[in-house]
A and B are shown apart, each in its own frame.
Chain A
Amino acid sequence: MARHVIIGAGTAGWNAITTLRELDKGGSEIILVSEEAPYSRMVLPYYLAQSIGESHVYTASSSRLAELKVETRIGQRAEQIDSAAKKLVLEGGGEIEYDNLLIATGSSPLKAPVPGADGDNVHSFWTLSQAQTVTAGLRKEARVAVIGAGFISFTILNALVNRGAILTVVELESRILPRMVDETGATIVEKWLAERGVVVRTATKLSAIEDKNGAKLLKFENGPDLEADLVIMATGIRPNIEWTRSSGIEINSGILVDDHCRTNIPNIFAAGDIAEGPDIVTGRKAVHAIEPTAMLHGRIAAANMAGDDTAFAGSLLMNIVDVLDLEIASFGAWDDPEAEAFEAVQPDRPAFRKLLFRGGRVVGAVILGKTRDIWTTNDVGMLKGLVYTGVDLSDWKDHLRHNPFDVKRAFLAAGTAGQLLSKTVLGRPSVPAGEIAISS
């Protein structure tokens, strides 16, 4: 019986486990080695909002893993790979032999390297344990400083505001969400936040965090000091690759994988935030560090570990975030400088669209609008479909140049749905994870 060793119980690891069991129904050995128990980080903002309890963030309990015939080493860290002997070495001793190894160790948060960054009441918001600390410690009307105005800060902004925090968001770059929207979009979001009492300070560099009368005093290279009760650092992440360095695995920003999620070493696969794999729009390899890519990689890697020969066309960069009922989403090469950009802003409301064309196809898109404006959530999926299929929109290009908000008829008339029917991932019907049948 083949033995699959999976390192990391996050999104990629969990999707690999369910896919393996979907395919082999228990006919292989799976050993899961993970520092943390299986849970979904992207659900943590809802836990912070207290709209769900802690149990809701877990993807699998220990009994569920046992049902799926997964042997677990939770709380243990992988330390090294001996690929010649096909062995994984664990921290503190212990070795596990493998037939196939999946590296899915995700990423870790970075803190701004300033004095005081490791002090009390200064937290990252990346792990469940950090989320527990922040969730339990957050008082109503607490003054909260969020350092970094990237995607992760924005995922927790709603929860902080809804729990009554008085919020200041500080960003080093000249605008918020620099990796998700352009200047026009960022300006709309900044205004929306200001109207809702959230202070945004862009082009501001934190230099130190000091203690003052039981609170925190933030010092900046430019601008006035800021007092806060709690500081959340969301200043970037980096893939957890250090421990793999001695293994001979090819690494760039992340672990390089091909269109089967294989590394350069036989029988070693990588998936999720740690992997640098093909991007469907650019064709180049990239670390996406997003949930959909971790799911896709996990499923592709597992299919190949199970012995199928399954390639994927590349993963699509995409994000959606709800900022106090303003929806922001971007897809693909939304900032491609060589693309033709068609954009429009509605004068009377926060609404913005941008479509990026290369030739006759859309390679990227940005959508921004009130959640209550029907077209906002009506169109997000279709924009994904257009970018994902790269369907020929030559006939529609002129129309969309002047009406970038009017995508539905273009989507329909271009036959996008027809193309999508054959552009599947594993090419087999989905099985809800709870219904996977294990043969005894």
Chain B
Amino acid sequence: MKVLKIIPDRCTGCMRCDLACSYEQTGTFQPSKSVIRISSFEGHTSYAPYTCLQCDEAWCLTACPVEAIGISPVGAKVVADDICVGCKLCTIACPYGTMFYDIDTHKAVKCDLCGGKPACVEVCPTEAIVYEDAEQADWVGPFAAERTKAPAGPLAGVS
């Protein structure tokens, strides 16, 4: 399956992925509405985007009491707005923290891979996010560990 592969070493923190994502998802340029979210490290000198891994045994899908979450042709777990009641059970069931809630629509929101043409990938100027066949993996973990430990001692990167 094609997945969103993140190569954080290439990320410049330009926020284009957030903006493109929120625009694609909600029609507004608003990072707070994005379902790919950037974290900063080392006093805002390194960055990494983080989003849904589209895990196989999907916590959100099994948690939903009204079966509002399905699987799209490209393998994304997607929320059907007309079925979602906004109970937020998926937001606490997803242990990755990539299931969000939109207070304006009262619905759960998550990455749907933009139907197979992910906007974040299209706008990323450095190919820090690519959409390709790969096993799901913890793309950001090792980078985050590295950027918060070295070399000035533990948590040097936390500002």
With A299-B62, A380-B91, A385-B97: A413-B67 Cβ-Cβ less than 8 Å: no
With A40-B65, A51-B85: A412-B95 Cβ-Cβ less than 8 Å: no
- Separation of A182 and B39 alpha carbons in the complex (Å): 30
Task: Specify the chain A residue showing the minimal Cβ separation from B83.
Answer: A56
The yes or no answer to A1 lying at the interface (CB within 8 A) is: no
- Separation of A416 and B55 alpha carbons in the complex (Å): 14
Task: Specify the chain A residue showing the minimal Cβ separation from B58.
Answer: A430
B141 touches A418 (CB 8 A): yes
- Separation of A416 and B140 alpha carbons in the complex (Å): 10
A434 touches B148 (CB 8 A): no
B70 touches A432 (CB 8 A): yes
Of B57, B83, B147, B155, the residue contacting A425 (CB under 8 A) is B57
What mask results when residues 60 to 95 of chain B are scored 1 for a CB within 8 Å of chain A, else 0? 011101110111000001000001011111011111
The yes or no answer to A230 lying at the interface (CB within 8 A) is: no
Give how many A residues have a beta carbon under 8 Å from the other chain's beta carbons. 64
With A292-B63, A416-B141, A432-B69: A379-B97 Cβ-Cβ less than 8 Å: yes
Count class of interface residues, chain B:
35 or more
What mask results when residues 1 to 34 of chain A are scored 1 for a CB within 8 Å of chain B, else 0? 0000000000100010000000000000000000
Of A46, A382, A396, the residue contacting B85 (CB under 8 A) is A46
Of B55, B67, B93, B147, the residue contacting A421 (CB under 8 A) is B55
- Separation of A421 and B54 alpha carbons in the complex (Å): 11
- Separation of A408 and B95 alpha carbons in the complex (Å): 12
B96 touches A56 (CB 8 A): no
Interface of A is mostly: helix
Of B32, B92, B95, B145, the residue contacting A420 (CB under 8 A) is B95
* Chain A min CB distance to B148 (Å): 5
A430 touches B100 (CB 8 A): no
* Chain A min CB distance to B14 (Å): 19
Task: Specify the chain B residue showing the minimal Cβ separation from A318.
Answer: B92
The yes or no answer to A433 lying at the interface (CB within 8 A) is: yes
- Separation of A318 and B87 alpha carbons in the complex (Å): 14
The yes or no answer to B56 lying at the interface (CB within 8 A) is: yes
A381 touches B103 (CB 8 A): no
* Chain B min CB distance to A308 (Å): 14
Of B48, B94, B141, the residue contacting A384 (CB under 8 A) is B94
B100-135 with Cβ < 8 A to chain A: 100-101, 103
Of A384, A409, A417, the residue contacting B92 (CB under 8 A) is A384
- Separation of A295 and B131 alpha carbons in the complex (Å): 33
The yes or no answer to B7 lying at the interface (CB within 8 A) is: no
What mask results when residues 27 to 45 of chain B are scored 1 for a CB within 8 Å of chain A, else 0? 0000010000101010000
With A377-B91, A421-B137, A430-B71: A11-B100 Cβ-Cβ less than 8 Å: no
A396 touches B71 (CB 8 A): no
The yes or no answer to A203 lying at the interface (CB within 8 A) is: no
Of A379, A389, A396, A434, the residue contacting B95 (CB under 8 A) is A389
The yes or no answer to B4 lying at the interface (CB within 8 A) is: no
A residues less than 8 Å from B137 (CB atoms): 418, 421
* Chain B min CB distance to A378 (Å): 7
Task: Specify the chain B residue showing the minimal Cβ separation from A432.
Answer: B70
Task: Specify the chain B residue showing the minimal Cβ separation from A14.
Answer: B65
* Chain B min CB distance to A426 (Å): 6
The yes or no answer to A196 lying at the interface (CB within 8 A) is: no
- Separation of A42 and B98 alpha carbons in the complex (Å): 23
With A320-B88, A409-B144, A421-B136: A295-B63 Cβ-Cβ less than 8 Å: yes
A residues less than 8 Å from B94 (CB atoms): 381, 384
The yes or no answer to A329 lying at the interface (CB within 8 A) is: yes
B96 touches A385 (CB 8 A): yes
- Separation of A61 and B32 alpha carbons in the complex (Å): 39
B residues less than 8 Å from A414 (CB atoms): 141, 145
The yes or no answer to B99 lying at the interface (CB within 8 A) is: yes
B85 touches A322 (CB 8 A): no
- Separation of A371 and B107 alpha carbons in the complex (Å): 12
B87 touches A381 (CB 8 A): no
B61 touches A430 (CB 8 A): yes
A42 touches B89 (CB 8 A): yes
- Separation of A417 and B154 alpha carbons in the complex (Å): 21
The yes or no answer to A179 lying at the interface (CB within 8 A) is: no
B57 touches A409 (CB 8 A): no
The yes or no answer to B19 lying at the interface (CB within 8 A) is: no
The yes or no answer to B9 lying at the interface (CB within 8 A) is: no
The yes or no answer to B151 lying at the interface (CB within 8 A) is: no
B96 touches A381 (CB 8 A): yes
A409 touches B65 (CB 8 A): no
Task: Specify the chain B residue showing the minimal Cβ separation from A19.
Answer: B62
With A381-B94, A432-B71: A371-B101 Cβ-Cβ less than 8 Å: yes
Give me 19 A-to-B residue pairs in the complex whose CB atoms sit less than 8 angstroms apart, sorted by A's number. Answer: A40-B65, A40-B66, A56-B66, A295-B63, A320-B89, A327-B88, A371-B103, A372-B103, A377-B88, A378-B37, A379-B97, A380-B92, A399-B155, A399-B158, A408-B39, A412-B48, A417-B96, A430-B57, A432-B61
Other A-B pairs beyond A371-B103, A409-B41, A411-B97, 15, CB < 8 Å: A292-B89, A320-B89, A380-B88, A395-B154, A409-B157, A409-B158, A413-B144, A413-B149, A417-B138, A418-B141, A420-B55, A420-B96, A430-B62, A430-B77, A432-B67
